[in-house]
Amino acid sequence: MPGANLVILGATGDLTQRLLMPALYRLYRLGYARGLRITGYSIEGWSRERFRNHIHKALRAFAPDYQAAQARRFAAGLDYISGGLDAKQMAPLAQRIQGSALFYLALPPPLFGTAAVALGEAGLAKTARGWRRLVVEKPFGTDLASAEALRKQIHSQWAEDNVLRIDHFLGKETTQNLMVFRFANRFLEPLWNSAHVSQVQINCPEMLGVEHRAAYYDHAGALRDMLQNHLMQLFCLTAMEPPASWDAEVLRDHKVEVLRAVVPFTARNVRRYTARGQYVAGRIGRKRVPAYRREPGIPANSHTETFAALRFEVNNWRWRGVPFYLRSGKRMASNRWGIAVEFKQVPDVLPGAQTIANNWMVFRLKPQESLNLVATAKVPGAKLEAHNVVLTAPYARDPDKEFSAYEQLLMDALEGDRSHFLRFDEVEWAWRLLDPVLRAWRHGEPEPYASGSEGPASQNRLLAPGHRWRPVKVSAGDLP
């Protein structure tokens, strides 16, 4: 990327200081950002010096590998331009940015369209020398109609190939490993279908509450914040057909194909296949925490869901009859994230077989990334008895090799690798599936659940006979 520019719009905001700058600083430290010119752009009338100091402080607070002298050198290389989101105000930016450039919209979602159009009108979307790309954060729209309107706005100035819709889950190591593990192991593919798999659970519970994000979150809710994008991407990667090549378009075609195979929700089946909840007061560890409706900035009568669960049925040859359960919620009992695939029961010929769990393959994303296979083996001793054993492969921990999601995705964006970014039709099909749920959820209320718990009881009505949600909270000795 020598000689390229990275322009962050919304450079004085939270995303920039918490995630983008620490990621760029690490890339700089590792020598991956040599020659990259970084310019902050924001409405704040700050001087370049003030911006540099602000970023230096942010690195001290948020960069895990902060080192004072290096951070100062990194900050000293940053540029800053103050201005608003129209072509006229962007003229100084257009003068300063020459050659290849990546524009990152680290802005509140309602401003994405305006910013993309302003960049285009200021002449920044095209250049005769080099490339121009636009990174758009999530959420891309709030439903199908608004996503389509945003697409039109952006496409009025930017070609689809130059628009990189980010979903930071696609930059996570385990997400990328899911694809490698699925498609690079001979033994897995023959088993990865409805003949052998009985269910798939994608669980992403969080102990955090709404934090300082009331204004955004109360309009979004768990379905839009986590399921529509992150969990549905994990679903796509788990369920898609093996691609013939690692080409961005082929990968994205396969993801869209599986989304199109999901049996649509209807006004009638929403109650059966979805559940929603909202946290009330409770305990997270030893700490007492307030109800969602008592959080600062949240209306006392808010109907926003902080927990959402969905059951997908996939109508294709590979998956027909295998439920995919997707679930995420704030203020739950743990942060144990995983994609868990259960294999069907074997004939119980062994003594004690009834008490043994089926085989599970668990891709754990949090608290530590790892790969786990629950298998059955003999209990050592004179008797013929079986029990579960767990084969675990922890993910490597070499701090200079493992990349955070933002580090990975920023590198990909600068290098023009689109495979880990969303094409518009992926977003579109995700909304197509969820629009009927959003419509149904305009009525009624989410079920209350205590903070620190497993979530609302109504989540159990989604389950097929014989299935149970994997516990959010586990004790020592429990299966992974």
Q: State in angstroms the smallest separation of the CB of 429 from ligand BG6.
A: 19
Please state, in angstroms and rounded to a whole number, the distance separating the CA atoms of residues 192 and 241.
10
Where on the chain is the footprint of ligand BG6 (CB under 6 A)? 206, 208, 225
Nearer residue to ligand BG6 within complex by CB, 254 or 293: 293
Contact of 361 with 391, CB cutoff 8 Å: no
Q: State in angstroms the smallest separation of the CB of 208 from ligand BG6.
A: 6
Nearer residue to ligand BG6 within complex by CB, 195 or 208: 208
Nearer residue to ligand BG6 within complex by CB, 225 or 342: 225
CA proximity to 371, closest of 391, 388, 393, 390: 393
Q: State in angstroms the smallest separation of the CB of 225 from ligand BG6.
A: 5
Contact of 137 with 166, CB cutoff 8 Å: yes
Contact of 289 with 276, CB cutoff 8 Å: no
Scan for tokens 């590998």, then name that residue: 65
Q: What is the DSSP-derived secondary structure letter of residue 18? A: I
168 assigned to active site:
no
Q: State in angstroms the smallest separation of the CB of 416 from ligand BG6.
A: 24
Q: State in angstroms the smallest separation of the CB of 220 from ligand BG6.
A: 8
Nearer residue to ligand BG6 within complex by CB, 5 or 334: 334
Please state, in angstroms and rounded to a whole number, the distance separating the CA atoms of residues 336 and 370.
12
**Which of 232-258 are b and which e, b meaning 16 or more Cβ less than 10 Å from the residue's Cβ?**
bbbbbbbbbeebeeeebeebbbbbbeb
Please state, in angstroms and rounded to a whole number, the distance separating the CA atoms of residues 203 and 231.
8
CA proximity to 239, closest of 176, 171, 192, 273: 192
Nearer residue to ligand BG6 within complex by CB, 282 or 329: 329
Please state, in angstroms and rounded to a whole number, the distance separating the CA atoms of residues 369 and 365.
5
Q: Where in 174-227 does DSSP place strands (E)? A: 197-205
Q: State in angstroms the smallest separation of the CB of 109 from ligand BG6.
A: 11
Nearer residue to ligand BG6 within complex by CB, 211 or 348: 211
Q: Which of the following is catalytic: 56, 168, 230, 420?
A: 230
Q: What does DSSP say about strands 37-42 and 5-9: parallel, antiparallel, or unpaired?
A: parallel
Q: Which residues are catalytic?
A: 230
